[in-house]
Structure 1
Amino acid sequence: MNENKVIDEATNKQKYLADRFTKIIDKYELSHSYLFSGESGVGKLAMALFITMGIFCPNTTNGYPCGNCDECRRISEQQHPDVVIIKPDVQSIKVDQVRYLKDEFSKSGLEGNKKVFIIQDAETMTNGAANSLLKFIEEPGNNIFSFLLTTNLNLILPTIISRTQVIEFNHLNSAEFSEQLKQLGVKHSQINLMNNLTNSINFVRDWQTDDWFDKVQSVISKWFDSIANNDAEAFVTIQADLMPLVLDNKRREPIINMMIACFEDVLNSKYLKSNQFNFPKNENSIIRLANNIQSQTLICILEIILNCNQQLSINISFQNILESITLKIMNLLNQ
């Protein structure tokens, strides 16, 4: 039985691509260079290693690697001498790292005539490193394959894009992403909300730093309860509890989206009778508000919060934005 984790990840997260590449490998039609683009966690590295196994494995079946032989095992463990993986040195991939790649390009395979190079976070290459790599991507030599992995295709030099086959990776579906969140230690009470806000594991890891996400969810929960109870404490919550958590501009959008998620819970409770809430601790307030709020009022509230994302690009105090929408929502609920 095949218990190779790399194969499992590649085939579970991106089955269509895995099937596509096994056919390409079986027909000996593999291109020399690929650029894999997609959010973190969608299986780009696993797919590159899966294809590499197909290249090296002596026991392939219709291009599908066995996963159990010595070649597959060492590739899976990133220990194969003819498979070179480059990662950013601190924050970027530097020229010296590309020089090392060039040296490896110039050598024959240590154990055969095939070599594979995988460059993770390719968007972090300095311009010097990227330009230095161009010639070797364009003319790599026989049986040399390269895989560049990126979460942001817009940051890759057009000259590199033009010399590779770009493969766009699909988003994870909700169940797959939820499973990844569990593996990261995300609380059960936060999984629905995380799934609603992002499909990026990098964002999740960032939000988990210093329990930031947990703290913000708790404050937004308190804010929503105050609004649902027509309590002016909602304004104090913004000033005293929420604003200290706005550590930088990139934290503003997820906060707005969490506020939207509160009223999406009301919407789902009202029309779908759903009890799968983004804010499960607010269940009583959500159900009570869903039973009493008019449909048009609920739609207006969602529009008010949604419009905040447009205001983020304007030089307006974020605290003023949040206090303004709080006032508008409470006025609507009091009408």
Structure 2
Amino acid sequence: MKSMIGRRAMGNYAYASARVKTRKSFLYPKETYLKLLQMDLPEISRFIEESRYKKEIDELANKYSGIDLLEYALNLNMAREMNEVLDFCQGEMKILLGAYLMKWDVWNIKSILRGKNYGASEDEIKETFVPAGELRMSTLVDLIHKGSIPDVIEGLNGTRFYKPLSSSLEEFNRTHTLSRLENNLDKAYYAYLLSIKLAGTSADELMMTFVRREVDITNLRTLFRLKRQGLEHEKIMDYIVPGGKLKADEMRKLAQAPSFDEFVNLVKDTPYWPDLAEAVENYRATGSLNAIEVALTRADISYADKISHAYPLSILPILGYTVRKQVEVNNIRTIARGKEVNLSNEVIRNQLVI
């Protein structure tokens, strides 16, 4: 059944847009990231401590230090920011934004599953949490305490994620790989998001176009990875998330390409090729898919930025801000982690979305 948004739930667009515009003005510009690249890790930490992340740094400083303190503070700040934005939205906006922010439930569940599968400590798993979706921090902590992945899945009984995870539990028990569980989480998330029936305004259509492009980008990441591995096309199709701008027959054509090079040639016929051309050349030179991952993320962010200005009194500026806030946190984390392992500034910069 589709979720319905009625006329009486339209939302407080003018108020929410004004508040988001103010918050967006505080996001770091490109020049700040270039400045951070010139700093060493202690200097970066001091810079962040003196910024609007100060509250979270001070709050967590008694328990954590160094890069761990920075990670926790960034995630806590982003979760609070997302929840605050959601709180001042009403009606349609609140429903839409709440549905979109469920991506953090998917993120957090994947973090728990991965942590359990690879033997990470409870603190290491908790460090990755961004409790900005429906699942509260207390629920996530309870899930960390579960003894096994099947126990974690059972702990999600009563949520929209239980059925897609439990349906793949037998395969996990047989293979001990997480790919099917994670893929089913993505499918459940996008199926719910795309099920919301909107009023049909131009802004609504752009919102859903953004979501469908995100589905395409998720699928392209999967295709690049699995085609390089040489997986059979029918198995690849099992991992494709429905609902993107690229239709099922287009996805099947990409999956059926007999070689990676022929797959790339077919990608040239998609609207995403201009964003990928340079990254594919980088892949040919290095053998690493990292540049392609970054290029796809940049394409996603670029479209969010573009549509956020189209209809000022709509969900779009709010959506654009939440996406940009995530970019800021990810960029800071990328710089700090890169400095920690002594990557060159050039390598780090190539991973930034600026």
Asked which structure has the greater RCO (Cα within 8 Å, sep 6+), the reply is 2
* TM-score strictly above 0.5: no
Larger Cα-atom Rg: 1
Larger proportion of strand: 1
Larger proportion of helix: 2
Q: Which TM-score band applies after superposition, normalised by the shorter structure?
A: under 0.3
